[in-house]
């Protein structure tokens, strides 16, 4: 299949992505990043700022809808698909690749991975073109190097994981040899990347680098090393992407000299093997979130295409490699069915999507309750997740510092709880104990409970508790039971 023809087919994914973006419920972290976009900064406590900038542009153009919030993820996923298609020859495996959860359901969720994956893919494409030019008579001009620096800097503004692309890219140039042809340009690339990503540094300096130190501790700490964590990571990756990447990793190492000698495949080898080896090692040192390894797979599929082209004459290898996509394709089909009609066999503890529908319904009911009594003051909350979800529904939610982990909401601490407006929202537990943790010993005026039911089973009970001086009038109606679909 020619690349122009592949591009036309790829654009057919656009309505699919838009449909998924509209159907899948907004998750806590997505709403959290939407809150960032309402308060633009040079960077944020949790991550760099690019995701907030992209959401802000989309919502300014198309309004505050979940579809608009997720438009950056749709654009990012299309860029990733096109880059993978451009680099992969042949493209026989790509339909199976695009049916994995990474390029279906998670592809429409807007997170810091959204800009990071898009710019990682663009950097992979840029790096491939640079190696092709370095291997030919036409040396790349300085503007090409500046372009690479801009792409790399934007990737760092998306997520700090892009730093692995910096290391892998540099290794690819060292392996290419002839440093006189690229060293000056590479230095320019580094300067441009630093300038583009400098808002992170400007943001962190007056804060004594607390946000960066938090992220470093979050990503590099190893609280629970061992084979159990490694097995969980490997199992999660197989479920999301299949067994093929592990086979490609071994095959690429065995054929590294041949692959590194090819200017087209050298960048893919470096941007896959080096980050993948790092994540495999990290998985032996403690818990590793499944999405952290996503960027290295962008370079895996062009290598998988070469591997497949060399073994597909064997029926055993041909069907074996295709069978390696069984887990991710099966997971995508299962998620599609579950989104339409929840599967009762799935335990509520892992049924995050259904719980999210119930959670959003609770937030709507809380907002309705507060509007019915005319209350527009603050509602104090323990976690950043519920703070973001309640704000999405128009509530002036404020996370109390020191109760759960710090976030963007606690970076600028609010004054202590205002006794005149001591209204709190609790996710679970005894309302007396929970409200005391936020407001001290203030007596409860009234409370309303909201039972979160997941497929008819009670998952938790949330409380809206009034500890204000005069009472705002909540809790005078029967508590609302909220059922997940």
The pLDDT of residue 215? 82
pTM: 0.93
What is the residue-level pLDDT of the chain in tens, covering all 485 positions?
666 778 887 888 899 999 999 989 999 999 999 999 999 999 999 999 999 999 999 999 999 999 999 999 999 999 999 999 999 999 999 999 999 999 999 999 999 999 999 999 999 999 999 999 999 877 788 999 999 999 999 999 999 999 999 999 999 999 998 898 899 999 999 999 999 999 999 999 999 998 888 887 766 665 666 688 888 899 999 999 999 999 999 999 999 999 999 999 999 999 999 999 999 998 888 778 888 899 999 999 999 999 999 999 999 999 999 999 999 999 999 988 888 888 877 777 778 888 899 999 999 999 999 999 999 999 999 999 999 999 999 999 999 888 888 899 988 766 678 888 889 999 887 888 888 888 887 888 889 999 988 877 888 899 999 998 888 888 754 334 444 44
CA-nearest of 252, 213, 250, 239 to 293 is: 239
> Interior CA angle at 301 toward 274 and 320, to 5°?
110
CA-nearest of 331, 109, 165, 120 to 241 is: 331
Preceding peptide of 13 cis, ω within 30°: no
Q: Do residues 146 and 188 make contact, with C-beta atoms less than 8 angstroms apart?
A: yes
**What DSSP line would sit under 386-434, residue for residue?**
HHHHHHHTT-EEEEPTTTS---HHHHSPPPSP-GGG-EEEESSS-HHHH
CA-nearest of 402, 404, 407 to 391 is: 407
Please give the structure tokens belonging to residue 229: 């964590």
First to last CA, the chain: 42
Q: Do residues 276 and 168 make contact, with C-beta atoms less than 8 angstroms apart?
A: no
């Amino acid at each position: 299949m020619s690349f122009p023809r592949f591009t036309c087919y790829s654009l057919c994914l656009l309505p699919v992505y838009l449909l998924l973006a509209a159907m899948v419920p907004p998750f806590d972290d997505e709403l959290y990043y939407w809150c960032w976009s309402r308060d633009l900064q040079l960077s944020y406590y949790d991550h760099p700022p690019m995701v907030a900038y992209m959401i802000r542009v989309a919502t300014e153009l198309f309004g505050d809808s979940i579809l608009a919030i997720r438009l950056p993820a749709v654009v990012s996923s299309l860029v990733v698909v096109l880059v993978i298609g451009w680099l992969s020859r042949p493209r026989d495996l790509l339909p199976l690749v695009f049916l994995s959860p990474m390029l279906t359901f998670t592809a429409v969720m807007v997170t810091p991975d959204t800009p990071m994956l898009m710019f990682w893919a663009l950097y992979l494409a840029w790096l491939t073109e640079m190696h092709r030019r370095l291997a030919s008579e036409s040396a790349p001009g300085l503007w090409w190097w500046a372009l690479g620096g801009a792409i790399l800097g934007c990737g760092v503004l998306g997520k700090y994981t892009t730093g692995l692309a910096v290391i892998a890219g540099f290794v690819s140039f060292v392996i290419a040899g002839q440093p006189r042809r690229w060293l000056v340009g590479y230095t320019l690339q580094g300067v441009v990347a630093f300038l583009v990503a400098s808002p992170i540094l400007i943001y962190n300096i007056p804060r004594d680098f607390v946000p960066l130190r938090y992220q470093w501790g979050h990503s590099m700490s190893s609280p629970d090393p061992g084979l159990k964590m490694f097995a969980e990571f490997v199992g999660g990756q197989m479920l999301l992407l299949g067994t093929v990447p592990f086979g490609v990793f071994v095959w690429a190492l065995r054929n590294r000299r041949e692959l590194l000698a090819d200017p087209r495949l050298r960048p893919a080898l470096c941007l896959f093997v080096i980050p993948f080896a790092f994540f495999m090692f990290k998985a032996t040192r403690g818990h590793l979130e499944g999405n952290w390894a996503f960027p290295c797979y962008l370079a895996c599929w062009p290598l998988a295409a070469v591997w497949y082209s060399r073994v597909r004459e064997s029926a055993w290898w041909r069907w074996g490699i295709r069978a390696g996509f069984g887990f991710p394709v099966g997971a995508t089909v299962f998620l599609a069915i579950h989104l339409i009609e929840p599967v009762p066999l799935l335990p509520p503890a892992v049924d995050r999507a259904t719980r999210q529908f119930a959670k959003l319904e609770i937030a709507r009911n809380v907002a309705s309750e507060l509007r019915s009594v005319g209350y527009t003051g603050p509602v104090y909350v323990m976690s950043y997740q519920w703070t973001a979800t309640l704000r999405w529904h128009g509530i002036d939610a404020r996370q109390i510092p020191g109760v759960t982990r710090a976030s963007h909401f606690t970076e600028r601490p609010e004054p202590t709880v205002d006794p005149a407006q001591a209204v709190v929202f609790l996710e679970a537990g005894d309302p007396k104990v929970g409200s005391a943790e936020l407001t001290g010993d203030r007596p409860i005026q009234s409370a309303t409970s909201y039972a979160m039911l997941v497929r008819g089973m009670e998952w938790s009970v949330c409380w809206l508790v009034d500890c204000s001086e005069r009472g705002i009038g909540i809790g005078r109606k029967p508590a609302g039971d909220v059922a997940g679909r």
